[in-house]
Amino acid sequence: MNGWAFWLDPNTLWVLAGCVLLGLSCGVLGCFAFLRGRSLLGDALAHAALPGVCLAYMVSGVKSTSLFLIGAVIAGLIASFCIAMLTKHSRIKEDSALAIVLSVFFGFGIVLLTSIQHSGQGNQSGLDKFLFGQAASLVGSDVTAMIVISAALLLLTTLLFKELKLLVFDSGFGRGLGYPTGLLDGLLMLLLLVCVVAGLQAVGVVLVAALLIAPAVSARYWTEKLGTMVLLSGCFGALSGVLGTLLSTRVENLPTGPVIVLAATLMFLFSLLFSPRRGILMRLINFLKLRRKVLEDDLLQALYELIEVDRTSPLTRGYAADRLASKAGKRPASVRRALTSLQRRGLLAPAAAGAASTNRSSDAEWTFTPAGLQAAHNIVLNRRLWDVYWMNEQQYQALAIDQNQEELTSQLAPDVLDEMLRQLASYDLLPRLSGHEEYAAPYPTRQGGLSS
């Protein structure tokens, strides 16, 4: 089907509208299920709907989508009740209860479906389409029903956004404020059930859970705010519906429902790799940056301490890369790359004696520039202050020290800093090098620099 014919085909437009609405409502409600730790709940409710569909056909004897959906809702409610009772009145945890209900209801549904197919009416009934969905069978009445259901779900979610937010993040606090968290939890389960049942015809009982959770997980990678996450998740779900419908109309014999799920999965993989804060690529880049910074700080400290022990001029005394690697406990190849980086940053320079003695950069001796000596002094002082803090943690327990921060000096009041410097002096750990001379007691400022 070419592009123009796609927009002229009423059946295709019905399918597109239905899939977009389904993806939108699943994406929005999936956020609350995901944050509530109920990712498996949608899967359990979807599988539990199958016996309801089969029983509706066996009782009525006719193929009616409305009756099938009513049967699915009743079966889903029974499954939700079973999950709640198992969790409340036994020692079975919720994930185990979900797994039990999912398996039992789906197994019962498969038994009923097989029985119907062997009765000679199974092929005509089309019940097997509820397993994997058949979006192409959506007609105008189906889309109208999906519009009504999606609008109701989105309206209720908007009206109860504050209550649902409290439920998913701190239900105990909400209970303390007087909110009926049990009722809200049951309402959230009912909304999920309605959403799952609405998607059965398009995606099927096996795959609808993926459409419920994949957009929500993808959105979580891009934001820390619930409102933004809900909007992103709805957009991801709707976009999955558009991509799945377009691809299935372009390629012959390509099922729409599974392609929608695959489109949602591709969005999840893209988010997993490239999201700016939680993505694997950005985390790898940050890890490599941190590892390089730690290596360079260790090298500056190693050179500082070697010169400190020698008690020579810190701007002329140099050491080779292998000696620095041995002192810092790093690989020589990594140390040479780090030395080159520190030279580009203007913190280290080849020592005059070493540069004259050899032309090979790998054997050159390295010493501080004035800026490098200042940076190394700050690093050594900060690390030794942390050592004092850890050795006397009980003494400084009342201080509001953020142990996740690298810098300690800026967190200390002047009198506390003076006390720590005195303790450093008593341990003979005060940094000795400053400028061209040995240590002359430079006073560290709260910004981590030196006052002298």
Q: What is the pLDDT of residues 104-119, one digit of tens each?
A: 988 998 888 888 877 7
Predicted confidence (pLDDT) at residue 88 exceeds the cutoff of 90: no
Confidence at residue 362, expressed as pLDDT on a 0 to 100 scale: 53
Q: Identify whether the C-beta of residue 379 lies closer than 8 Å to the C-beta of residue 301.
A: yes
**Which are the contacts of 401, defined by CB distance < 8 A and separation ≥ 6?**
389, 408, 411
Tell me the CA distances in angstroms from 399 to 362, 408, 411, 413, 417, one per residue in order. 46, 12, 9, 9, 12
Predicted confidence (pLDDT) at residue 3 exceeds the cutoff of 50: yes
Give the pLDDT band (50/70/90) at residue 359. very low
d(CA 365, CA 272): 44
- Which comes out higher in pLDDT, residue 271 or 428? 271
What is the distance between the terminal CA atoms of the chain, rounded to a whole angstrom? Answer: 78
Give the pLDDT band (50/70/90) at residue 268. very high
Total-model pTM: 0.75
Q: CB atoms < 10 A from the CB of 68, how many?
A: 25
Strand pairing of 365-368 and 348-350? antiparallel
CA angle 221, 172, 178 (to 5 degrees): 120
d(CA 217, CA 271): 9
**Which are the contacts of 113, defined by CB distance < 8 A and separation ≥ 6?**
50, 54, 122, 127, 128, 131
Encoded tokens for 22: 């389904």
Confidence at residue 342, expressed as pLDDT on a 0 to 100 scale: 92
Confidence at residue 7, expressed as pLDDT on a 0 to 100 scale: 64
Confidence at residue 109, expressed as pLDDT on a 0 to 100 scale: 87
Confidence at residue 353, expressed as pLDDT on a 0 to 100 scale: 53
Q: Identify whether the C-beta of residue 363 lies closer than 8 Å to the C-beta of residue 320.
A: yes
Confidence at residue 234, expressed as pLDDT on a 0 to 100 scale: 92
d(CA 383, CA 249): 63
Q: Identify whether the C-beta of residue 26 lies closer than 8 Å to the C-beta of residue 260.
A: no
**Which are the contacts of 439, defined by CB distance < 8 A and separation ≥ 6?**
430, 431, 432, 433
Q: Among all chains, which residue has been given the structure tokens 């908007």?
A: 158
**Which are the contacts of 411, defined by CB distance < 8 A and separation ≥ 6?**
399, 400, 401, 402, 405
Q: Among all chains, which residue has been given the structure tokens 């999906």?
A: 146
Encoded tokens for 416: 């506390």
The H-assigned helical ranges of 61-91 are: 65-89
d(CA 388, CA 423): 7
Give the pLDDT band (50/70/90) at residue 199. confident
Q: What are phi and psi of 311, to 5 degrees?
A: 55, 45
Q: What is the pLDDT of residues 388-414, one digit of tens each?
A: 999 888 888 888 888 888 888 888 888
d(CA 232, CA 225): 11
d(CA 317, CA 352): 9
Confidence at residue 206, expressed as pLDDT on a 0 to 100 scale: 73
Confidence at residue 94, expressed as pLDDT on a 0 to 100 scale: 79
Q: Among all chains, which residue has been given the structure tokens 């943690």?
A: 393
Strand pairing of 433-434 and 365-368? unpaired
Strand pairing of 433-434 and 437-438? antiparallel
Confidence at residue 266, expressed as pLDDT on a 0 to 100 scale: 92
Q: What is the pLDDT of residues 279-320, one digit of tens each?
A: 999 999 999 999 999 999 999 999 998 888 877 776 777 888
* Collapsed DSSP state (helix, strand, coil) of residue 438: strand
Predicted confidence (pLDDT) at residue 4 exceeds the cutoff of 70: no
Q: Averaged over 206-227, what is the pLDDT?
A: 88
Confidence at residue 124, expressed as pLDDT on a 0 to 100 scale: 55
